[in-house]
């Protein structure tokens, strides 16, 4: 069976921890979209790790980690990341790379930087990993598939053809050095040699695995609100962050996805520009940022301070709906133990009217948060294993949010570690 672990919001909800935890009972973990632009932080027996391209199952010896066709594959970064974990005594994971995955080219990373420079203050807040230029080229049909690395004739012709087009932009728009086709071809030969031992017909591999009754986890990056279609366009990422896309980005039938675990953090955070209705500022935000996550809310890839806000029921209800949520994993709840009262955003006021439905971006920009304050529990809930043992106000917080979003919270995460999890029966499941 196939399960997906995806985010309801702007990313950084704690998907890495939940995937790492669920990977214990899985055979195969697949990254199906995105690239090395965002990171998952994982704390386990080997230490604390930030993963960018590798699936969050690489810490188990019984799992196979797969880079699906939907991923933006940065080959040197993938190998740097493998080395960064094996250098810290993690056994070499079993890795497969889809022969249909496309490659982040050195010029994609440069184009990302040049475009941010050109836009100056009007930039999208890109992480400059080449993701937007990569996906643009993929859909303009001038991307390079892993399989193409093994066809020398094709590669030579295509490098010359693509460089011709890119060089016009480099020269006239960005005024930067041009692509040297011999150098690029050499780089691609190096990439070919690096990736060759791992290349696989992934959809066929997964088809066989599913027929053998194996469990496959699809691991999403970012969250619903960063989806190019359903998110806060244009402040979105360039590949779909939805569980539905997992079928495409891994190459499995959509009906095989039986469980969709949508990760929601107990408060909000976001990186990059874009409307963020429940955002807070000043000392209130600084304190939550400092206490948040595991060692503060700073980007796993970029180190950038994350924007902070209260839990947003409107965005999360929408985020869960678009994912097709069967289970909500509610994370980082332990962090809120310091607050006397916890505000929760239960509605948006737009042009004088209150709504609980998430609007399109132009209206979102006008939305003001409607806040409800819930009493805090004022204690440390880490280490608690049973739902009934959580303080009453803490359970009330969970149940209030569950009622607002309308999807069952079946897992509550009360610490960054693998075992910091409380399973719960939800009345919404009955
Ligand atoms: P992802 O991109 O969705 O995987 O999220 P990130 O890894 O960027 O951010 C989640 C952060 O919260 C990481 O630092 C995790 O170690 C941490 N984390 C996850 N779950 C919990 C939790 O329940 N409690 C605490 N305190 N930290 C958590």
Would you kindly state where each structural domain of the chain is located, as residue ranges? 2-100+198-261, 102-196, 264-429
Strand spans (E) along 150-254? 199-200, 216-219
Which of 18-27, 47-56, 76-85, 141-150 has the highest average model confidence (pLDDT)? Answer: 141-150
What number does the ligand 1 atom closest to the CA of 38 have? 2
pLDDT at 293: 86
Compute φ and ψ for 211, nearest 5 degrees: -65, -30
pLDDT over threshold 80, residue 64? yes
Report pLDDT for 295.
Answer: 83
Mean pLDDT within 418-423: 94
Strands 368-375 and 341-350: antiparallel
Best mutation site among 9, 11, 15, 16 for ligand 1 pocket (most ligand atoms within 8 Å of CB) = 16
| 73 and 103 Cβ atoms separated by less than 8 Å | yes
Q: What is the mean pLDDT of residues 306-329?
A: 98
Tell me whether residue 39 is annotated as binding.
yes
Mean pLDDT of 114-131: 80
pLDDT at 125 over 70: no
Task: Pick from 5, 12, 14 the residue to mutate for probing ligand 1's pocket: most ligand atoms within 8 Å of its CB.
Answer: 14
End-to-end distance of the chain based on CA atoms, in angstroms?
22
Q: Is 128 annotated as a binding residue?
A: no
Position 124 pLDDT exceeds 70: no
Strand intervals (E) in 146-293? 199-200, 216-219, 257-265, 268-270, 279-280
pLDDT at 37 over 90: no
In ligand 1, which atom is closest to the CA atom of 415?
Answer: 24
Spell out the residues 6+ positions from residue 182 whose beta carbon is closer than 8 angstroms to its own: none
Determine the residue of 44, 294, 308 to mutate for testing ligand 1's pocket, defined as the one with the most ligand atoms within 8 A of the Cβ atom.
294
| Average pLDDT value for the chain | 94
Question: How far is the centre of ligand 1, averaged over its atoms, from the C-alpha of 20 (Å)?
Answer: 11
Q: Would you say the CB of residue 16 lies under 6 angstroms from ligand 1? A: yes
Q: What is the Cα–Cα distance from 192 to 71, expressed in whole angstroms?
A: 17
Residue 303, marked binder: yes
Length of the chain in terms of residues written: 430
Q: Which of 99, 63, 101, 96 is nearest to 201 (CA)?
A: 99
Asked whether the beta carbons of 244 and 324 are under 8 A apart, the reply is: yes
Nearest-angstrom CA–CA distance, 268 and 343 = 11
Burial grade of 233 (CB within 10 A; 0-12, 13-18, 19 or more): middle
14 Cβ below 6 A of ligand 1 = yes
Report whether pLDDT(402) > 90.
yes
Which residues are the active-site residues? 12, 40
Q: What is the pLDDT of residue 39?
A: 74
Tell me whether residue 333 is annotated as binding: yes
Q: Tell me if 415 CB under 6 Å of ligand 1.
A: yes
The CATH H-level superfamily of 2-100+198-261 is Adenylosuccinate Synthetase, subunit A, domain 1 (3.40.440.10)
Question: Which residues sit opposite 72 in a β-bridge?
Answer: 102
Q: Is the pLDDT of residue 126 over 80?
A: no
Range with the lowest mean pLDDT among 57-61, 216-220, 354-358?
A: 57-61
Atom of ligand 1 nearest to the CA of 56: 4
Note whether 224 and 268 are within 8 A (CB).
no
The share of the chain scoring above pLDDT 90, in percent, equals 85
Determine how many CB atoms are found less than 10 A away from the CB of residue 173: 12
262 backbone dihedrals φ, ψ, rounded to 5° = -100, 125
pLDDT higher than 90, residue 430: no
Prior bond of 234 cis (ω within 30°): yes
Whether 335 lines ligand 1, by a CB cut-off of 6 Å, is yes
**pLDDT at 43 (0 to 100):** 81
Kindly state the average pLDDT of the residues 11-23.
Answer: 92
41-50, 68-77, 294-303, range with the lowest pLDDT: 294-303
H helices present in 23-172, as ranges? 75-86, 106-119, 131-139, 152-169
Q: What is the mean pLDDT of residues 323-335?
A: 98
Cβ density class 19-44: b for 16+ within 10 Å, e for less: bbbbbeebbbbbbbbbbbbbbbbbbb
* pLDDT on residue 49: 87
Give the pLDDT confidence score for residue 56 in this predicted structure. 84
Higher pLDDT, 282 or 39: 282
Residue 304 pLDDT? 81
**Position 14 pLDDT exceeds 70:** yes
* The pLDDT of residue 284 is above 70: yes
* Whether the CB of 219 sits within 6 Å of ligand 1: no
- Measured between alpha carbons, how far is 54 from 56 in angstroms, rounded to an integer? 6
**Contact at 8 Å (CB) between 298 and 304?**
yes
Ligand 1 touching residue 112 (CB < 6 A): no
How would residue 360 be classed by pLDDT, with cut points 50, 70 and 90?
very high
- How far, in Å, is the centroid of ligand 1 from the Cα of 252? 28
Does the pLDDT value for residue 273 go beyond 90? no
The pTM of this model reads 0.94
Over range 127-142, report the average pLDDT. Answer: 92
- Res. 116 pLDDT band, cuts 50 70 90: confident
As its CATH architecture, domain 102-196 has: Orthogonal Bundle (1.10)
Cβ of residue 43 lying under 6 Å from some atom of ligand 1 = yes
Alpha helices in 24-151 (DSSP H): 75-86, 106-119, 131-139
Which 3 state secondary structure label does DSSP give 402? helix
Range 264-429 has CATH code 3.40.50.2300: no
Atom nearest to 331 CA in ligand 1: 23
CA 14–ligand 1 middle distance (angstroms): 4
pLDDT exceeds 80 at position 302 = no
Per-residue pLDDT, averaged over 153-176, amounts to 96
């Amino acid at each position: 069976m196939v399960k997906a672990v995806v985010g309801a919001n702007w990313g950084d909800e704690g998907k890495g921890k939940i995937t790492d935890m669920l990977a214990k009972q899985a055979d195969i973990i697949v990254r199906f979209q995105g690239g090395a632009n965002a990171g998952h932080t994982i704390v386990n027996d080997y230490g604390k790790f930030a993963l960018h391209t590798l699936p969050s199952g690489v810490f188990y010896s019984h799992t196979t980690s797969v880079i699906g066709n939907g991923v933006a594959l940065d080959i040197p970064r993938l190998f740097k990341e493998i080395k960064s974990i094996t250098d810290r005594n993690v056994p070499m994971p079993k890795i497969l790379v889809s022969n249909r995955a496309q490659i982040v080219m050195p010029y994609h990373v440069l184009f990302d930087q040049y475009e941010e420079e050109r836009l100056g203050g009007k930039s999208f807040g890109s992480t400059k990993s080449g993701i937007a230029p990569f996906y643009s080229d993929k859909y303009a049909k001038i991307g390079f598939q892993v399989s193409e690395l093994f066809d020398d004739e094709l590669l030579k012709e295509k490098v010359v053809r693509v460089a011709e087009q890119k060089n016009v932009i480099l020269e006239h728009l960005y005024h930067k050095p041009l692509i040297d086709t011999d150098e690029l071809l050499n780089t691609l030969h190096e990439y070919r040699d690096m990736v060759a031992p791992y290349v696989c017909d992934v959809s066929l591999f997964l088809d066989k695995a599913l027929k053998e009754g194996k469990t496959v986890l699809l691991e999403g990056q970012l969250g619903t609100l960063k989806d190019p279609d359903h998110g806060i366009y244009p402040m979105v990422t360039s590949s779909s962050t939805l569980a539905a896309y997992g079928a495409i980005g891994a190459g499995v039938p959509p009906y095989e996805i039986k469980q969709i675990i949508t990760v929601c953090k107990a408060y909000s955070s976001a990186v990059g520009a874009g409307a963020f209705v429940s955002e807070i500022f000043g000392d209130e935000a600084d304190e939550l940022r400092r206490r948040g996550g595991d060692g503060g809310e700073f980007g796993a890839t970029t180190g950038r301070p994350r924007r902070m806000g209260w839990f947003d029921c409107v965005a999360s209800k929408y985020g869960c709906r678009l994912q097709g949520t069967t289970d909500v994993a509610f994370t980082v709840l332990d962090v809120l133990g310091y607050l006397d009262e916890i505000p929760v955003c239960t509605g948006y006021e737009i042009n004088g009217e209150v709504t609980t439905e998430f609007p399109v971006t132009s209206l979102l920009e006008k939305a003001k948060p409607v806040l409800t304050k819930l009493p805090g529990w004022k204690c440390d809930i880490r280490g608690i294993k049973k739902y009934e043992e959580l303080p009453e106000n803490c359970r009330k917080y969970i149940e209030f949010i569950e009622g607002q979003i309308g999807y069952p919270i079946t897992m509550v995460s009360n610490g960054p570690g693998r075992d910091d999890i409380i399973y719960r029966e939800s009345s919404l499941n009955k």
